[in-house]
């Protein structure tokens, strides 16, 4: 059956330009406005209270900030069962018992929250936070290495090492977009960021491997009758419907989760589901438009070097 073949590779300059411009914008934004970092990574305290009334978060941050002597971030969420709300106060300092008492007094006297009951008090040193961050990076790096080795072995017929490295570059592109989602929407980098990154690594690489597998099959089928560009365009076109439908179904599910989390004011779920939805959408774009085009560019460069040597 005839299938329409899209000229994906022919528009690669557009894709590369979009990604490059996005990279520059992200770097400039982070340099100018900075990045929110959770206490899990930078160290600090997280004190949680159950409350029974609506609060003004800006007023809470101002009053509690005066008490602890540093900038404070306050968030609210529904308690399990919906009988009240949870107020979470985070700041870059340790919260000993005296500090907790001062915060409770401020909540009751300055903010009029009579029924503020302490739920949890966690303090993370800056050293422990950095160690956790480094361990998370090691986990991501280990995942990259395993993926490169697997792809290099699995797709030896289509220059496995180049295919593996290109897949990793494409994954780094997805990680950048996820990071940008956290930065632009002022979501603090925390363990949710690492969870989203690891999820995207597995999800996005799946679409890329499917395209690689079709390229290998088409190479066996057509041999030298088709160029690399024709093979990549054909393979992407053949797998486009499957990749789109799979990504769309998962994206819709994540959007529903985000809407429910917004309605219930559950910020911890929002900071996971929203960046994951962004990563899924961009992962589809990366696998379809970016990875194959980058692989073609790599093959062309290698061919030019081989020709010059001869």
Secondary structure of 246-263 in the HEC alphabet? HHHHHHHHHHHHHHHHHH
Q: Are residues 169 and 119 in the same domain?
A: no
Q: In this structure, is residue 31 part of a structural domain?
A: no
Residue 80 has a pLDDT of 55
Residue 91 has a pLDDT of 82
Q: Are residues 98 and 167 in the same domain?
A: no
Q: What is the extent of the structural domain holding 257?
A: 133-309
The mean pLDDT value for 218-238 works out to: 89
Q: Are residues 51 and 145 in the same domain?
A: no
Residue 1 has a pLDDT of 46
Q: Are residues 161 and 299 in the same domain?
A: yes
| Chain centroid to CA 128 | 23
Q: What is the 3-state secondary structure (H, E, C) of 98-117?
A: HHHHHHHHHHHHCCCCCCCE
Q: In this structure, is residue 249 part of a structural domain?
A: yes
Q: In this structure, is residue 4 part of a structural domain?
A: no
Q: Which of 94, 124, 154 is the last residue of a domain?
A: 124
Average pLDDT across the chain, whole number: 84
Q: In this structure, is residue 10 part of a structural domain?
A: no
The mean pLDDT value for 56-63 works out to: 85
Q: In this structure, is residue 32 part of a structural domain?
A: no
Q: What is the CA radius of gyration of the chain?
A: 24
Q: Are residues 147 and 110 in the same domain?
A: no
Q: Are residues 165 and 194 in the same domain?
A: yes
- Give the residues across from 60 on adjacent strands: none
Residue 128 has a pLDDT of 65
Task: Please tell me the total count of domains within the chain.
Answer: 2
Residue 11 has a pLDDT of 92
Q: Are residues 109 and 168 in the same domain?
A: no
Does the pLDDT value for residue 274 go beyond 80? yes
Q: Are residues 143 and 276 in the same domain?
A: yes
Q: Are residues 92 and 152 in the same domain?
A: no
The mean pLDDT value for 84-106 works out to: 81
pTM confidence score: 0.80
* CA atoms lying within 13 Å on the CB side of residue 241: 5
Q: Which of 124, 148, 180 is the last residue of a domain?
A: 124
Question: Left (φ > 0), alpha (ψ -120 to 50) or beta: where does 44 sit?
Answer: left
The mean pLDDT value for 142-157 works out to: 84
Q: In this structure, is residue 55 part of a structural domain?
A: yes
Q: Tell me which DSSP letter residue 122 carries.
A: E
Q: Are residues 140 and 109 in the same domain?
A: no
Q: Which of 92, 124, 156 is the last residue of a domain?
A: 124
Measured CA to CA in angstroms, residue 258 lies from 72, 80, 194, 266, 269 at distances of: 25, 18, 18, 9, 7
CATH, residue 262? 1.20.1640.10
Q: Are residues 68 and 101 in the same domain?
A: yes
CATH, residue 51? 3.30.70.260
Do 91 and 45 form a contact (C-beta atoms < 8 A)? yes
The mean pLDDT value for 292-303 works out to: 86
Does the pLDDT value for residue 60 go beyond 50? yes
Task: Please give the Cα distance from 233 to 102 (Å, whole number).
Answer: 65
∠ Cα 257 258 260 (to 5°) = 65
């Amino acid at each position: 059956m005839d299938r329409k073949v899209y000229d994906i590779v022919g528009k690669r300059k557009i894709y590369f330009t979009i990604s490059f411009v996005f990279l520059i914008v992200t770097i400039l934004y982070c340099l100018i406005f900075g990045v929110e970092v959770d206490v899990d990574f930078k160290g600090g305290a997280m004190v949680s209270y159950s409350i029974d009334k609506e609060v003004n978060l800006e007023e809470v941050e101002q009053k509690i900030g005066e008490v602890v002597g540093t900038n404070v971030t306050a968030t609210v969420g529904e308690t399990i069962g919906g009988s009240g709300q949870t107020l979470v106060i985070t700041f870059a300092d340790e919260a000993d018992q005296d500090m907790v008492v001062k915060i409770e007094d401020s909540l009751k006297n300055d903010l009029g929250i009579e029924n503020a009951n302490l739920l949890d008090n966690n303090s993370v040193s800056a050293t422990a936070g950095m160690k956790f961050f480094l361990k998370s990076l090691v986990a991501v790096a280990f995942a990259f290495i395993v993926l490169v080795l697997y792809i290099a072995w699995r797709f030896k017929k289509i220059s496995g090492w180049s295919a593996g490295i290109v897949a990793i570059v494409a994954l780094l592109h997805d990680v950048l977009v996820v990071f940008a989602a956290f930065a632009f929407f002022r979501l603090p980098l925390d363990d949710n960021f690492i969870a989203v990154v690891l999820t995207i690594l597995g999800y996005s690489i799946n679409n890329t491997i499917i395209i690689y597998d079709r390229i290998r099959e088409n190479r066996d089928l057509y041999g030298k009758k088709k160029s690399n560009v024709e093979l990549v365009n054909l393979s992407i076109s053949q797998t486009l419907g499957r990749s789109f439908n799979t990504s769309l179904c998962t994206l819709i599910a994540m959007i529903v989760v985000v809407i429910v989390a917004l309605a219930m004011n559950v910020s911890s779920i929002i900071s996971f589901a929203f960046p994951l939805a962004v990563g899924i959408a961009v992962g589809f774009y990366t696998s379809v438009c970016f990875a194959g085009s980058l692989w073609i560019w790599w093959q062309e460069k290698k061919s030019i070097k081989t020709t010059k040597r001869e």
